[in-house]
Amino acid sequence: MATIYEVSKLAGVSVATVSRVINGSGRVSEKTRQKVLSGMRALDYQPNSIAQSLASNRSNCVGVLVSEVHGPVFGAMLSGIEAELRAAGKLTIFATGHNVEAKEREAIRFLVSRNCDALIMHVEALADAFIHQQAHQGPPLLIMNRVVPGLEDRCISLDNEHGGYVATNMLLEMRHRRIAYISGPLAWGDARARLEGHGRALKEHGLRLDRRLVIESNFHEVGGSEAMAELLRRDIPFSAVVCANDEMAAGAMDTLRTQGRSIPDDMSLVGFDNAPLSRYLYPKLSTVNYPITEMGRMAAHWVLENVYGQSGADFQNIFEPELVIRASAGPGPG
């Protein structure tokens, strides 16, 4: 690999000048610029990004911390982030935290040790306090899918409350009156907000949330399946169920089918996230879209603008979920 030194020799200028044309910094006369450029071409010169990083104290890479790489949400988010960053010549590095606090901390250490210029994280296990600390001592931080008090302007999240609202509202408008709810872990803000939206929709329609029709589950398929079984066991009438994510809806659907209930005739079902699987279920799942790819793009934009000084579009903190109507929900018995 050719070095800047060889280019400078070939072009008959100093390395400083070559550096200037590489970075477009400082002033270089057009004539020397051309000499340097042709020298670079002749040697197929490619700046050594490591050396650039060391000298400029900027790694041109941003770290992304996720729970898992696979799975519907994280892959899509990474995808959005990478697309934007790479278009700007920046590198995306990532690490997985598996939703375990110790691992998430270690992953942050790892990413920071690689000198990333910014950090985007989608984590559940870390406490707000730790995030605050990290925000004050490490590289600029962006938090996905979570609102950390005091760092609101660094959080990109979905209006989960509204999402819960529209899901339930749709069922209500279909004349369902007794609507069950399978929730995610209420320790997590997004799960709580979705449930609150559900409650608000009921209230606006003059109904009260029946605690016996709400089950706190775990966002997983098996959890949804068990929750559904438990709901049926309770023997309280209901004609529709809102699931706080699509995976649980898949589980719930399975249980319903096993018990011989037909969807949507006997029971309407709504999910949340609009994960790929929602299209594969039968009947296809009505759900609430979670624009995670766009949110990833937005995170990348923020970084490009605030860390790398590129001017960008307006920053949007909160994204609005939208209803995706498919076949799993039908008119209620009302």
- Judged by CB, which is closer to DNA: 260, or 309? 309
Query: Does 293 interact with DNA (rule: CB under 7 A)?
Result: no
Q: In this chain, which stretch among 51-59, 90-98, 199-207, 255-263 interacts with DNA, using CB under 7 A?
A: 51-59
Q: How many CB atoms lie within 10 A of CB 236?
A: 12
Residue type (1 letter), 46: Q
Contact 227, 166 (CB under 8 A): no
Q: Which of 9, 37, 52, 185 is in the footprint of DNA by CB under 7 A?
A: 52
Binding residue for a copy of itself, selected from 83, 125, 318, 327, defined by CB under 8 A: 83
Which partner in a copy of itself, DNA, none is near 174 (CB below 5 to 8 A by kind)?
none
Show the DSSP H helices in 44-100 as ranges.
Answer: 49-56, 72-87
C-alpha pair distances (Å), 97 with each of 68, 74, 100, 103: 7, 12, 6, 5
CB-nearer residue toward DNA: 54 or 236? 54
42 binds DNA (CB under 7 A): no
150: contact with DNA by CB under 7 A? no
Nearest to 277 by CA among 297, 253, 256: 253
**Contact assessment for residue 199 and residue 208, using Cβ atoms and an 8 Å cutoff:** no
Q: Hunting for tokens 């990348």 — which residue is that?
A: 300
Q: How far apart are CA 268 and CA 289, in angstroms?
A: 18
**Residue 49 near a copy of itself by CB under 8 A:** yes
Binds DNA by CB under 7 A, chosen from 55, 127, 186, 325? 55
129 contacts DNA (rule: CB under 7 A): no
Q: Nearest CA to 78 among 120, 113, 117, 126?
A: 120
DSSP state of 178: -
Asked if 116 interacts with DNA (CB under 7 A), we say no
311 interacts with a copy of itself by CB under 8 A: no
Q: Which stretch, 70-78, 117-125, 178-186, 234-242, contacts a copy of itself (CB under 8 A)?
A: 70-78
| Residue 60 within binding range of DNA, rule CB under 7 A | no
The DSSP bridge pattern shows strands 240-243 and 268-270 to be parallel
Question: Is residue 113 a contact point for DNA (CB under 7 A)?
Answer: no
20: left (phi over 0), alpha (psi -120 to 50) or beta: alpha
Q: Which does 110 bind (CB under 5 to 8 A by kind): a copy of itself, DNA, none?
A: a copy of itself
- Compare residues 293 and 317 and give the one whose CB is closer to a copy of itself: 293
For binding to DNA (CB under 7 A), which residues are involved?
1-5, 12-20, 22-23, 25-29, 31-33, 45, 47-48, 51-52, 54-57
